[in-house]
Chain A
Amino acid sequence: MRWGMVIDLDKCTACQSCAVACKTENNVPFATPEQSERGHTIFWMDILTRVWGEYPRTKARFIPRPCMQCDSPPCVQVCPVGATYRRPDGIVAQNYDRCIGCKYCMVACPYGARSFNMGRPEEPETFRNYANPDGRVARRRVGIVEKCTFCFQRVDTAVARARAEGRPIKDGEVRTACAQTCTGGAIAFGDLDDPMSRVARLAESPRAFRLLDELGTKPKVLYLMEG
């Protein structure tokens, strides 16, 4: 079992629904204008944007960026306390109780996928109502680092259920919040070790590439080129 994701940029609409769904699923706080100004936004799923060229030969690229869930994760290598670790199923997870907030992992991550909880989220009492009550995604404390977990709470629940029913988990049975809402149907999630899975088949596409592959991080998030 090796969870992976394939994002087809040709189907991506740059709508940002993935980024918002992730926030609601994982209790990621929004940053106020002041926090945003200081760069203290937290997006487990973000959209990388690049616009270039001269009018009317302008070009742009939009790349949804979750944690790459590297098989050779630099963040794990540098974490001095073992708070960040690679699970047997490939998910790069984080033990929030262990994290000391040293931010080494943030420096090590070439994808900018990690965020530091700079300050307390500022939100009105009424907004507490919509918090996801699942204890596994309880809001992280100030002073520690957090990032995309491939919605491990969804994964674990589905795996446990399959196990209880004495069957292997089915391809497509579990989807991350971003994949679930993805309007263009661009995000696929599944087991890269299962050659019949959708992600494994898409990973074979001639359009497939990995971000900063040359660094040897071995991301389990793959992209399919546009056009």
Chain B
Amino acid sequence: MAMNRRAFLKVSSATGAALLVTGRPVPEGAQERGGPSGAADERWVPNVCLQCPAACGILVKVVDGRAVKIEGNPVHPINEGRLCPKGHIGLQLLYDPDRIKGPLKRVGERGEGKWETIGWDQAIGIVAKRLGELRGRGEPHTVVFMGGRYRGQMHALFGRFMQAYGTPNDVGHSSICADGSPIAHYLTQGIKSYLGYDWDNTNYILCFGGSFLEAWRPTTRLLRAYGHIRRERPVRGKLVHVDTRFSVTAAKADEWLAIRPGTDGALALGIAHVIVAEELYDKAFVAEHTFGFDDWVDDKTGAPHTGFKRLVLQDYPPPQVAEITGIPEATIVRIAREFAATRPAVAAGERGSSMQANGIFNRMAIHSLNALVGSIDAPGGVIVQRGPHFSDWPKLEPDPVAKAGLGMPRVDHAGTARFPLAGKVYQHMPEIFAGAGPYPVKALFLYYTNPLFSSPDIGRFYETIKRVPFIVDFTPFMSETAEYADLILPDHTYLERWQDDVIYPSLGYPVVGLRQPVVKPLYDTMNTGDALIKIARRMGGSVAQAFPWKNMEEVLKFRFKRIWEEGEGNLKAGSFEEFWAKLGREGVWYKKGYAFGEWDKVLRTPSKKFEFYSIALKKKLDELALKEVEKAREGGKESTPDAELEKILKGLKLTARGDGLYLPHYEPIRHVGDPKRYPLLLNTYKLITHAEGRGANAPWMLERLGVHVKQRWESWAELNPDTARELGIRDGDLIWIESSVGKLRTNAKLYPGARPDVVNIPFTLGHRAYGRYAKGRGANPNWILANEYDYLGGTAAFFSTRVRVSRA
């Protein structure tokens, strides 16, 4: 697949610099390192990074069967040869001394760490038998799949398994990730997904709570775009960053707006107020492509409705917004004028605004600024990611048992009156394990997710996960959750396996990269795709029939066939074999070019417009209210939709009523904990070295953990120096941070970037497992985070916990 050094040198001397132009994946500067290693076998093998979901192309230098260097793949459009710091640590994960080296069966108590090494055949047999028994009893729906970093075909493959097997319980992790944004996009654009941004061509970025240079995705793409807009074009782009904490992004931004936590939506609406009041908005776009801007009268009922314009003019004048957000009135007015006058301008936001108790409406408010200035599907604005055209999966015929299972309600209450817009509610699972669900969980499968580390108020998971009688984890590393499993079927690391990876929404046009074994698997591990296929085949019947492929490589070839047939993009080939060989050499297929103005793909709401007023939200809540009326009627009680809606809204802890509810608005932020007992607010954040929860076992990251506070290897809590002085805390002191759900101990870091009323703790450390470098090091704020929700979307509110701080 990959090119050996001799062949490469031959080509390189013949074609010289043209190599990069023709797209052969030779890293710039690779030649000079062809040097005197004296190795007979020296190659650069394309692969795709898995340190975050960006899916950056990488080239791995392999010398005598050992992976020795990772560089960005210059032909991969998302990272163009560059890599963020996390990209390099693939080597330390591949060669992690504490990897799981083969299938394990638990022999001790849960969490005790006593295992028996078993063979793959036996392991697959145990799983197939257990799953078969549950199906035999008509209980396939009691099987739950909790998954995290599904990439490429993996989610569809798992989904197919669940369909064939018969469980609706696909509980992904996005409700603890950043679901607030996709849900806000769904309400306004009808697209439940992250959106792309044409960063390279924008002149003004107004970013709310998304760490552009540290934690937002796709990392390297954002970093690359930052460099580009600063100095690689005639106009230097401006970045205005809204954040509670003085982050690296805040430091590098042209302007930092130090906002009161959880009030981003109000600020966005204050900005909207100025833009509307001063008539600075894009009137043509608003008239042609939006719904609910002006007041309107319902065609059928003749009822008058309030539009976005009236709402922001009435409710969000700058003085009031200044009061809520702490951002001075003059600043709000100035930023609004700048934002509207600088075209193209784009408003974006991520977890700091979206994963709040009021996150979805915050994000709706922020996103509505893009509609106001016509930055929806426009150069320099928001774009909609298109995917590659994979071959359709073969039709799947669930048998009657599977059909019955699929017909059961989801176990996590997603989509019910409790969490109306949720697709899944990951962090709700402890209550479900404890028996609060519609039925018990009898088997749990975990794929690239670690709830015993990553969920708010983790103690709940520790208490209840033991009640699940059968737990299987596919992790290559001994995570906290894996320690509670009955069976571990360890995956290869990403440098050892076949897998594809479609880029995170960003560039707009379709890009898919290929993972292939860079080195032979080091241990007795198995590609989880292969394992899943083997389990299905062992089960026989309709489940086996749903998987006519021998292994993951066959699945990939099947799915890529249509891309070859369509004959578009960078890889043209006469035969599929040729296409596949080219894909292996280049590491990526893409079809450049973004077609603006395909409104049917961009605006998929009921009105086919950008909805300031969300018809989908109204419809969903009305449906749920009607269902409740029916339920009441079945219980012999009379009720009205209005009364039931009121009950639902109270349950969702929403304050807005009437039209305001369906428009972007500011819901007052909710906190957990008595402000007298817990005077400070806990803010968690992600470092660039964090690798989204999976970097704590890589010394190269731990050694450079927090660049802004010069911290290595250890956790810290950032305190404002004045706050610390009042509490008698000095820099480096050990301190307790206590919330209503628990307390943790870590070192105080006096940091002038910390808000006086907020304590900042980064995620990454505090593992109880995960190998020698991670285990027993630092503090995990998830132990003290209250499990608060934005109930509307079932999303975790990560910034709602009140705490108090004292010297330890």
Contacts and interface: CB of A to CB of B under 8 A. Distances in A.
Interface of A: 8, 10-17, 19-21, 23-25, 30-33, 36, 41, 47, 49, 51-56, 58-62, 123-127, 129-136, 153-158, 161, 165, 170, 172-175, 180-186, 226-227
B796 interface: no
Contacts of B28: 172, 175, 180
B7 interface: no
Contacts of B95: 126-127, 129-130
Nearest to B258: A56
B32 A14 contact: no
Given A20-B704, A174-B29, A183-B82, A15 B688 contact: yes
Given A32-B699, A136-B36, A184-B230, 4 more contacts: A8-B227, A11-B231, A13-B223, A127-B92
Contacts of B700: 20, 23-24, 30
Interface residues of B, number: 81
A60 B33 contact: no
A41 B712 contact: yes
A133 B85 contact: no
Interface in B707-733: 707-710, 712-714, 720
B688 A60 contact: no
B213 interface: yes
Contacts of A51: 246, 251, 708-709, 751-753
Contacts of B220: 183
A130 B753 contact: no
B442 interface: no
Best-surrounded residue of A31, A185, A226 (most CB of chain B within 10 A): A185
Given A16-B707, A33-B712, A186 B227 contact: yes
Given A13-B226, A174-B29, A175-B29, A20 B88 contact: yes
Contact of B712 (A36, A60, A124, A174): A36
B303 interface: no
Given A47-B707, A134-B36, A55 B246 contact: yes
Contacts of A13: 213, 223, 226-227, 248, 252
Given A130-B66, A134-B36, A11 B689 contact: no
Contacts of B227: 8, 11-13, 182-186
A160 B254 CA distance: 44
B96 interface: yes
Interface string B62-85: 011011111110000000011111
Given A41-B712, A135-B36, A19 B85 contact: yes
Best-surrounded residue of B89, B700, B707 (most CB of chain A within 10 A): B707
A60 B708 contact: yes
B39 A133 contact: yes
B223 A49 contact: no
Interface string B779-797: 0000000000000000000
Nearest to A131: B68
15 contacts: A10-B230, A13-B226, A16-B707, A17-B82, A17-B83, A19-B85, A20-B704, A24-B700, A51-B751, A62-B707, A62-B708, A130-B69, A156-B32, A175-B28, A184-B224
B17 interface: yes
Contacts of B68: 24, 129-133
Nearest to A226: B252
